[in-house]
């Protein structure tokens, strides 16, 4: 039986570190809300059957900020939890309710990675489509890595086998649902939950521009990068 691909975007947080006046996913970047850039990139990937955004139950802003996200490939659910893991788990249940099957692929992507390009997503789908586990976009660590103690360098850590995890992260719905149920809220990404099952997710080369916007400086960087793309 062939597998379908769905995208799931947890978007129930507030992003206090970004220094925005409201939830950072609605901060304006290059003339559009941050989350609008993210969703547009996912909808541009033809092999993704539908994208589900998981909002906080009390979110009353989304339709006002992103009115065009609707229809057969744009799904909205106000079932966000108190953690990223809970929001993703709730989103998996919603996908199942809408017809997704256990063997279908789910690509979980951070709303705050709004510089996403469709070719990066297609690269991940190509790499993981026949894989037994699935995988994630990631970058080999380029900088020298230091371990700290009391604000000083304790030692230099080898970077040869270190990668920076990005999103999307692509796994089968059934496996990811089981992994999150076992791992609980302690994991910070889906790959971590899959690892806790004893599986080894595939590392797929990402891109340095696929940054997660966390701090005010990140938002300024994204503004420059997006405007440069369009110039």
- Position 23 scores a pLDDT of 84
SS3 155: strand
Count of Cβ atoms closer than 10 Å to residue 188 Cβ: 12
Q: Can you name the residues that pair with 163 across neighbouring β-strands?
A: 140
Cα–Cα nearest to 39, from 55, 52, 56, 24: 52
How far is Cα 112 from Cα 114, in angstroms, rounded to an integer? 5
Does the pTM surpass 0.85? The reply is yes
pLDDT in tens, the chain (231 residues): 689 999 999 999 765 444 455 688 999 999 999 999 999 999 999 999 999 999 999 999 999 999 999 999 999 999 999 999 999 999 999 999 999 999 999 999 999 999 999 999 999 999 999 999 999 999 999 999 999 999 999 999 999 999 999 999 999 999 999 999 999 888 999 999 999 999 999 999 999 999 999 888 889 899 999 888 876
- Position 99 scores a pLDDT of 97
- Position 24 scores a pLDDT of 86
Q: Can you name the residues that pair with 135 across neighbouring β-strands?
A: 170, 202
How far is Cα 72 from Cα 148, in angstroms, rounded to an integer? 50
How far is Cα 109 from Cα 166, in angstroms, rounded to an integer? 9
How far is Cα 116 from Cα 110, in angstroms, rounded to an integer? 10
Helix 173-183 to helix 84-97 angle (10° resolution) is 140
How far is Cα 201 from Cα 110, in angstroms, rounded to an integer? 18
Name the pairing type of β-strands 134-140 and 163-172: antiparallel
> Would you say 163 and 61 are in contact if contact means Cβ atoms under 8 Å apart?
no
Angle of CA points 159, 164, 167, to nearest 5°: 165
5-230 belongs to CATH 3.90.550.10? yes
> Would you say 95 and 6 are in contact if contact means Cβ atoms under 8 Å apart?
yes
> Would you say 62 and 55 are in contact if contact means Cβ atoms under 8 Å apart?
yes
- Position 145 scores a pLDDT of 94
> Would you say 33 and 26 are in contact if contact means Cβ atoms under 8 Å apart?
yes
**Residue corresponding to tokens 């890595």:** 145
């Amino acid at each position: 039986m062939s597998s379908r691909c769905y995208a799931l975007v947890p978007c129930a947080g507030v992003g206090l570190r970004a220094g925005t006046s409201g939830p950072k996913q609605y901060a304006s970047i290059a003339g559009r809300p941050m989350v609008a850039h993210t969703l547009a990139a996912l909808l541009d990937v033809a092999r993704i059957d539908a994208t589900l955004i998981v909002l906080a139950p009390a979110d009353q802003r989304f339709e006002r900020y992103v009115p065009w996200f609707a229809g057969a490939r744009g799904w909205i659910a106000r079932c966000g939890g108190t953690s990223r893991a809970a929001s993703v788990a709730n989103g998996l249940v919603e996908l199942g309710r809408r017809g997704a099957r256990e063997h279908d692929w789910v690509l979980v992507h951070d709303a705050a990675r709004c510089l996403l390009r469709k070719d990066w997503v297609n690269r991940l789908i190509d790499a993981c489509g026949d894989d037994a586990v699935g995988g994630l976009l990631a970058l080999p660590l380029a900088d020298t890595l230091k371990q700290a103690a009391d604000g000083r360098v304790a030692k230099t850590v080898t970077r040869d086998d270190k990668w920076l995890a990005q999103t999307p992260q692509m796994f089968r719905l059934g496996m990811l649902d089981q992994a999150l149920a076992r791992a609980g809220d302690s994991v910070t990404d889906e790959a971590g939950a899959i690892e806790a099952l004893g599986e080894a997710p595939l590392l797929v080369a990402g891109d340095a521009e696929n940054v997660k916007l966390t701090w005010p400086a990140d938002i300024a960087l994204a503004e420059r990068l997006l405007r440069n793309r369009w110039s």
